[in-house]
A = this chain, B = another copy of it.
Amino acid sequence: ARRATRGRMANSKYEYVKQYELDDTLLPGCWIVVRIDGKGFTKFSDLHGFEKPNDKRALDLMDECAKEVMNEFPDVRLAYGESDEYSFVLGRDTNMYGRRASKIVSLLVSCFTATYVARWSAHLPDTPLRATPMFDGRAVCYPLDRHLRDYLAWRQADTHINNQYNTCFWALVKGGKSPAEAQAVLRGTQAAFKNELLFRDFGINYAHLPDQFKKGSVVIRQKALLEVKRREDGSPVLRERSVPTVMHADIIRDDFWEAHPQLLGA
């Protein structure tokens, strides 16, 4: 709340209602994951003519929102996003807002949403925003590093599965099949079948698709030279800063974690 200075007074008669605010502290010592998810984005993406199966502009916008969340909340160590969802990881020892679930979740969602609207026109300049984009959020605690790794692996495996399916589905639909026919072709098929279908019938080599589509986006802080001001002669003054940076890396295997030991470190 915004107040010049608090003028406390005879409000005491009603203040008992504050006791009804129950504590929702998240268990200390655990990793906290906040996953946010677009509300009704099938309809939202149709309404705004998103390209299928992936719209790079919309994905870039999501990535920018995630970076803004990490700029605003230093306790977020890592983010992982795909499609219309993003997961944010807070360290075991974070004491951000006393680990209160509703405070953490609502602020991350709010920051993400605000940026989504504010930066929309930069990413989709020819598409007016015609509906209110909304994201829900929830917090989940993971006790062990292994659980956190498995959570992120779960999301990235999901990205792969969905993307492969959707790539086939939309190739079939663009090739003239009805959605129901396309579903029938794909029902119960394995990855190998789908790869061959794409290659044989549509000339698409799945392995050559952009990593952004196949692997989703990881955001971690990386050292980078940032311009912090300009000298009188107009030349930039650069300083090394830790900057949220988007990658499209494999986060299932150990390599990523060995390359960035600070992510799981104390």
Contact = CB atoms under 8 A, between A and B. Distances in A.
Given A38-B1, A162-B3, A186-B7, A29 B136 contact: no
Count of this chain's copies in the oligomeric assembly: 4
Interface stretch (A145-153, A202-210, A239-247): A145-153
A21 B15 CA distance: 27
Interface in A75-92: 83-85, 92
A103 interface: yes
B38 A157 contact: no
A213 interface: no
Contacts of A135: 106-107, 110
A52 to B, nearest CB: 7
B72 A11 contact: no
A149 to B, nearest CB: 9
Contacts of A10: 157, 161
Interface stretch (A113-121, A214-222, A224-232): A113-121
Contacts of A236: none
A142 B17 contact: yes
Given A165-B4, A166-B4, A14 B105 contact: no
Interface of A: 1-11, 14-25, 27-30, 36-39, 41-42, 44-45, 52-53, 68, 72, 83-85, 92, 101-103, 105-107, 109-118, 129, 132-144, 147, 150-151, 153-154, 157-158, 161-162, 164-166, 169-170, 179, 183, 186, 191
